[in-house]
Structure formats: C-alpha cells, structure tokens
Structure 1
Amino acid sequence: MAEPEGAERPERSGRSDDELFAELVAGFDEPVAESDRSWPEAEDVSASDMGLGAPQERPRPPVVRPLPMVQAVPPVDPRAWTAAEDPDDEHYTPPEPPPLPRAQPATKLALLALVVGIALILLGGIGELPQGMATFLGVCSIAGAVATLVVRMKDPDPEDHDDDPNHGAVV
C-alpha cells in the first residue's frame, strides 16, 4: 500500500507488533497524562457530558433452572385405535343394483358404425385406402352413428315422472 506524500512513518523502536499491541491493550484503561495528549482540549468529553453518568453494571441474565421431570403416559399410536361396536347402531347396506339393460340391435349397429367410421378415417390418413373415398365414407359413417344414437336417446318410462319439485329428496 502506497503512503500519501508528506506522511511521516512512525519510527519503530525494535519491538515487534505483538509487543506493541500488548502494551496498548495493557494501558487501555489508564488515564492519559496532560502532557502526553495528542488531541485538542475541545475534543475531551467525559461520560457525564454525554449524559451517560457513571458506568453501571450490566444486568445479569436470570438463572434458568431445568423443569422437574414428570412421568408421562406412554405414547399411543392413534392408528391402532378402533371404535367400540354399538349393537344398536344401524348400518345401511345398499341393495344390489339391477342388471344393465341389454343393448338393442339398432344401438349395437350405431356403435359399430362409429368404430368403422373412425377406422376408415385412420386407414385413409395413413395411405392404406384411397384417401378421398375413405375419409368421405368415414365421416358419413360417424355422422350417421351419432345421429342414430342421439335420436334413440329417450326417457325409459315417460309415465314414471313425479310432480315432486324436490325430485324425491326428503330429509
């Protein structure tokens, strides 16, 4: 590090840095003699001038004593707990659902036409069939199948409707 011009370097008196530091630390609390002061008198400030007063002892933290040991109940696994069976408790068991209705032949043909239409479009797209004809037949087959399925959607029994606005929900 370069020193500024005109700055005097203090002379060393053959002592090492450790010795100088130890001397400074040892004389830290000693008052400075008036003749040895190297600062102006206006910079002298006492503790009372700063509003600090006399130095006070620091408060000591309270002594923390350990709490007494208490015997606790051994831990219980909450997953091992089971509720006691109440013989008066009623359990609802739903009835067996009715079997699915058999599909009518027209519905089976419409589903088959839907699958065949998708296959025709895919085979026309990958080049196995002439693309224009396969795509046209596939689209017509899918449209006819969807139309048939939509027209055949109906209420199974129109006379079975109740006039109940709650649709049977009673609490």
Structure 2
Amino acid sequence: MAEPDAANGGQQRKPTDDEVFAELVAGFDAPAERSEHDWPDAEDTGDTGDADGYRDLTPRPVIRPLPVVRAVPPVDPRAWSPAEDPDEFHFVPPEPPPIPKAQTVTRVSLLALVAGVALLLLSGFGQVPGLAGFLGAASLLGGIAGLVSRLHNPDDDDDRFDDPNHGAVV
C-alpha cells in the first residue's frame, strides 16, 4: 500500500517493486473478494440463478443464405494461345563462318598420329613385324610433338593483357 511521505509534503509515495512483490506474495493464499458479478453491466445477461438452474440465454445465430456467386466456366489450358507472335522476339543466330583450312604441318602431324596408333595396334596383335611397331611408336610421338608445337596462346600476341593469370581487365 502507498503510504504518505513526509518528505513529499504529505503526498503518497509510489511503492517500490520489492514492496509490491511482497504484498502479492502475502496475499497469494487469501480468498478472492467476490462481488455480485465481476464483469461489466453491459455483459450482464440478467440470469441470477444458480448453476443447476442455468438456462441458455445466448441468442441463436440467424442462418442466412450465402450470396450467389456465378462460377466462371473452366478453361482448357491447351486451348490458350499467346497474344503476341512467339517468333517476334526469337533470336536466330547468323550462319557460322566456314571452318578454316588446316595448315600442311597440322595435317601431316594428324596423319602421323593416326598412322602411329594403327601401326602400334597391328603390331600388338602380331599382324606386322617388330620394325613396324618401332615405326608406329616413332610416328605416334612425332605426330604428338608436331601438334603440341603448333599450339599457341592468342593472348600472348596481344600486349593489352599484362596480367600473367589472365584475369579480368576493367
């Protein structure tokens, strides 16, 4: 309870949280004060009888018909067609340029590679003598060396890229 405080000119001081808590704990087991009813008068039904003679005074709900909603007829999704022409924004790539003719050194290296593989397979099956196996291995290695020596990086010809990792240039 708030008590008058002499320091505030006789006004009531606010109780501290500890005092309010102690008051709540002390009144925990005390019976609750009952009045005639613990609800507002607007909610009073007027029934003052005991629980055994309880009558149901709640009003019954009025059942009204639901509003009529016209259903839209179902639409077949296969019958739908787009409004705009689908070819209007369709990208058609240009014809690719013709494949460039291979250089003579590249063609000879490929021929040596294929001939070397064929000679090694035939010597492995015992169809050709041992010298053909040696020539097949030499031809295979020569074809590989010729193709590898022809490889070049097009970025090496361009001086714009100073990054050794070939990263993005901003």
Shorter-chain-normalised TM-score: which range?
A: 0.3 to 0.5
- TM-score, length of structure 1 as denominator length: 0.44
- TM-score, length of structure 2 as denominator length: 0.44
